[in-house]
Amino acid sequence: MEKYKDSDVELMSILLKLQEQTSPIRMSIGYTVGGTVRQGIILYEAAPKVIETLIEKGYTCDLNGCGMRVYKL
Protein backbone atom coordinates (compact mmCIF):
# COMPACT_ATOMS: atom_id res chain seq x y z
CA MET A 1 0.00 0.00 0.00
CA GLU A 2 1.38 3.39 -1.01
CA LYS A 3 1.93 5.93 1.72
CA TYR A 4 0.90 9.55 1.43
CA LYS A 5 3.56 12.13 0.63
CA ASP A 6 4.79 14.17 3.58
CA SER A 7 3.58 17.31 1.81
CA ASP A 8 0.02 15.91 1.59
CA VAL A 9 0.05 14.97 5.29
CA GLU A 10 1.30 18.48 6.15
CA LEU A 11 -1.45 20.05 4.02
CA MET A 12 -4.16 17.90 5.62
CA SER A 13 -2.95 18.92 9.07
CA ILE A 14 -3.09 22.60 8.08
CA LEU A 15 -6.60 22.17 6.64
CA LEU A 16 -7.85 20.48 9.82
CA LYS A 17 -6.54 23.34 11.96
CA LEU A 18 -8.00 25.96 9.62
CA GLN A 19 -11.38 24.22 9.64
CA GLU A 20 -11.47 24.48 13.44
CA GLN A 21 -10.85 28.24 13.16
CA THR A 22 -13.19 29.01 10.25
CA SER A 23 -15.98 26.85 8.82
CA PRO A 24 -16.33 23.35 7.34
CA ILE A 25 -14.12 22.59 4.33
CA ARG A 26 -15.50 20.34 1.59
CA MET A 27 -12.68 18.58 -0.22
CA SER A 28 -11.50 15.45 -1.99
CA ILE A 29 -8.33 13.41 -1.66
CA GLY A 30 -7.75 12.48 -5.28
CA TYR A 31 -9.84 13.22 -8.36
CA THR A 32 -10.47 12.02 -11.91
CA VAL A 33 -9.84 13.72 -15.23
CA GLY A 34 -11.16 12.05 -18.37
CA GLY A 35 -11.54 8.75 -16.54
CA THR A 36 -7.97 8.85 -15.19
CA VAL A 37 -7.45 8.89 -11.43
CA ARG A 38 -5.12 11.65 -10.21
CA GLN A 39 -3.49 12.21 -6.85
CA GLY A 40 -3.89 15.48 -5.05
CA ILE A 41 -6.10 17.47 -2.74
CA ILE A 42 -9.04 19.35 -4.24
CA LEU A 43 -11.05 21.95 -2.33
CA TYR A 44 -14.71 22.35 -3.30
CA GLU A 45 -15.79 24.76 -0.56
CA ALA A 46 -13.59 26.69 1.85
CA ALA A 47 -13.66 30.04 3.60
CA PRO A 48 -11.55 32.79 1.96
CA LYS A 49 -9.30 32.77 5.04
CA VAL A 50 -8.33 29.17 4.23
CA ILE A 51 -7.11 30.10 0.74
CA GLU A 52 -5.28 33.19 2.03
CA THR A 53 -3.49 31.14 4.70
CA LEU A 54 -2.50 28.39 2.26
CA ILE A 55 -0.98 30.95 -0.12
CA GLU A 56 0.87 32.62 2.78
CA LYS A 57 2.32 29.20 3.67
CA GLY A 58 3.65 28.76 0.13
CA TYR A 59 0.93 26.61 -1.44
CA THR A 60 -0.28 27.03 -5.01
CA CYS A 61 -4.04 27.03 -5.63
CA ASP A 62 -5.17 26.21 -9.19
CA LEU A 63 -8.86 26.56 -9.97
CA ASN A 64 -10.06 24.07 -12.60
CA GLY A 65 -13.22 22.16 -13.56
CA CYS A 66 -12.75 19.72 -10.66
CA GLY A 67 -12.36 22.40 -7.98
CA MET A 68 -9.29 24.11 -6.52
CA ARG A 69 -6.18 21.94 -6.54
CA VAL A 70 -3.78 22.77 -3.70
CA TYR A 71 -0.10 21.81 -3.77
CA LYS A 72 3.42 23.01 -3.06
CA LEU A 73 5.89 23.51 -5.89
What are the φ/ψ torsions at residue 14 (nearest 5 degrees)?
A: -60, -45
Q: Which of 34-72 are b and which e, b meaning 16 or more Cβ less than 10 Å from the residue's Cβ?
A: eeeeeebbbbeebeeebbebbeeeebeeeeeeebbbbbe
Residue 51 lies in a domain: yes
Give SS3 for 22.
Answer: coil
Number of domains in the chain: 1
What's the mean per-residue pLDDT of the chain? Answer: 91
Residue 57 lies in a domain: yes
Please give the pLDDT value at position 2: 63
- Report the predicted TM-score, pTM, of the whole model to 2 decimal places: 0.84
- Intervals of the chain under pLDDT 50: none
What are the φ/ψ torsions at residue 16 (nearest 5 degrees)?
A: -60, -45
Residue 1 lies in a domain: no
Please give the pLDDT value at position 8: 87
Domain span at residue 58 reads 6-72
Please give the pLDDT value at position 40: 87
Please give the pLDDT value at position 1: 52
Please give the pLDDT value at position 30: 85
